[in-house]
Amino acid sequence: MYQLYIANKNYSSWSMRPWLVLQAFDLPFEEIMLPFPSERHTGTFKQDILAINPNGKVPVLMDDGLLLWDSLAICEYLAEQHPEQNLWPKNSQQRARARCIAAEMHSGFTHLRNACGMNIRANLNEMGKRLWQENAELREEVARIEQIWSERPEAQGFLCGEFSIADAFYAPVVTRLMSYALPVSDATQQYMQTMMQHPAMKAWVTAALQEVAWVNYLEPYQHHVL
Ligand SMILES: N[C@@H](CCC(=O)N[C@@H](CS)C(=O)NCC(=O)O)C(=O)O
């Protein structure tokens, strides 16, 4: 049984990716939630995660004492451990493409990530309008994402055929586009719907919506009303 250490489902986009892969492929895992503190440099999150991962971040996968501490490395490891399940697409061309687009997400899209932090339960539509007008890099990055998504083999399907690690990597983009109501094409919205209907995605989003913890430093656009 794997152990996956994650942080708040509402906020932690890097935690979401390997969690979705474990869940979608029905791999046996125990989830260990280390919630972010309400204010930076308070609470026990940092000391708790540092006790198991010197890198000090989530997600972390533990497999029988083996520590893995990066979302993409975790997914690669899981794919290697379960070759009978196509965590990466079976078709070699789609597999190559899936790896490229997952890597592009993992190492890029910093404007989207910085301006539109994941916040599943929030309605940030008004802020989204403003960011869209003011932030040209954000518009460019969303255009690139729409291009990637438009190249999926089937309009009703996932990015590289069946659900794969590539989709898990773009899952937090789906929720961001919704939270900030960024203006995207019908084809993009179709993919967002496909993703939102996936059982693993539904399970994560449902759990995120039930969380009440407020993490002030991840809420640049809202005030906490008690
Ligand atoms: N490149 C890493 C990023 C991990 C990351 O930034 N995790 C965030 C949560 S989404 C974190 O642990 N932040 C806590 C901190 O930096 O103190 C990965 O792919 O796993």
User: Does residue 1 surpass a pLDDT of 70?
Assistant: yes
**Mutational pocket test of ligand 1: of 9, 10, 11, 14, the residue with most ligand atoms within 8 Å of the beta carbon:** 14
Residue 224 has pLDDT above 90, yes or no: no
Whether residue 139 lies inside any domain: the answer is yes
Looking at the structure, do residues 135 and 51 belong to the same domain, yes or no? Answer: no
Overall average pLDDT of the 25-29 stretch: 98
Q: How far apart are CA 62 and CA 67, in angstroms?
A: 5
Q: Are 25 and 80 in contact (CB under 8 A)?
A: no
Q: Above 80 in pLDDT, residue 225? A: no
So what's the pLDDT on residue 226? 59
Q: Is the pLDDT of residue 149 over 80?
A: yes
* Per-position DSSP letters for 136-172, written without gaps between them: HHHHHHHHHHHHHHHTSSSTTSBTTBSS-HHHHHHHH
Ligand 1 centroid vs 70 CA: distance in angstroms? 8
Q: Which of 32, 33, 39, 58 is the best mutation target for the ligand 1 pocket, counting ligand atoms within 8 Å of the beta carbon and taking the most? A: 58
d(CA 148, CA 142): 10
Calculate helix-pair angle for 165-179, 13-24, nearest 10 degrees. 130
Full domain range(s) for residue 57 = 2-86+211-218
For residues 117 and 67, state if they share a domain. Answer: no
CA of 7 to the centre of ligand 1 (A): 9
Mean of all residue pLDDT scores within the chain: 97
Residues 97 and 71 in one domain: no
DSSP state of 51: T
Domain for residue 53, yes or no?
yes
Q: Does any ligand 1 atom lie closer than 6 A to the CB of residue 53?
A: no
Q: How does pLDDT run across 58-75, given as a tens digit for each residue?
A: 999 999 999 999 999 999
In a domain, 194, yes or no: yes
The sign of the CA dihedral 43, 19, 222, 132 is positive
151 has pLDDT over 80: yes
Rounded Cα gap, residues 192 and 174, in angstroms: 6
Residue nearest to atom 11 of ligand 1 (CA): 57
Residues 6 or more apart whose CB falls under 8 angstroms from that of 9 comprise 15, 16, 120, 204, 207, 208, 211
99 & 190 share domain:
yes
How many angstroms does the Cα of residue 57 sit away from the middle of ligand 1?
5
The verdict on whether omega for the bond into residue 183 sits within 30 degrees of 0, i.e. cis, is no
Residue 10, pLDDT score: 98
pLDDT computed for residue 223 by the predictor:
87
CATH number for the domain including 20? 3.40.30.10
Number of folded domains that form the chain? 2
Indicate whether 136 and 170 sit together in one domain: yes
Q: Are strands 2-6 and 29-33 parallel, antiparallel or unpaired?
A: parallel
Q: What is the mean pLDDT of residues 85-92?
A: 98
Same domain, 110 and 188: yes
Q: Confirm or reject: Cβ of 7 under 6 Å from ligand 1.
A: yes
> How much is the average pLDDT of 95-107?
98
Q: What is the mean pLDDT of residues 145-150?
A: 98
Tokens in use for 182?
């960024």
